[in-house]
Amino acid sequence: MIPDAYALEALRFLLPEFDFTDTHEVDLKITEQLKKKKLGAFDPVIISELRALKNTVQTEFHQASKSRYFTHTHGQFCDIRDFDLQMLATDMADSFPSISRDAIDRFLPNATFYYYLK
């Protein structure tokens, strides 16, 4: 199991990453932050798993109403309630068992804001 503090710190830097982003630069920032906060060494296997989670979540939010997690619109503007975050968290926890459910639960509101509400 990936420690929550490690996962959340890395996901903080992975969140703004897109297909065109230089992943090497992001990896360097993660390495620096992990070292600064004494959370452990950069582990490419762990970061790859976290990046896969982030990419999966990012894809779901970019699908908007076509996502299976989209419930319905809750007004004129985008709303965090437009997605069933509990079901998404459950499925992500099943798909990525090395990442704790708590870390996923804490990541999803930020991802919702960044990929859907922004």
List, for residues 45-88, the tens digit of each pLDDT value: 999 999 999 999 999 988 877 888 877 665 666 666 677 899 99
Domain that holds residue 55: 4-117
Nearest to 95 by CA among 60, 71, 44, 63: 60
Number of domains in the chain: 1
For the residues of 34-76, what is the DSSP string, one character each? Answer: HHHTT-----HHHHHHHHHHHHHHHHHHHHGGGSTTB----SS
List, for residues 34-50, the tens digit of each pLDDT value: 999 999 999 999 999 99
Reported pTM: 0.89
Q: 86 or 115: which carries more pLDDT confidence?
A: 86
Helix-then-strand count for the chain, H and E: 5, 0
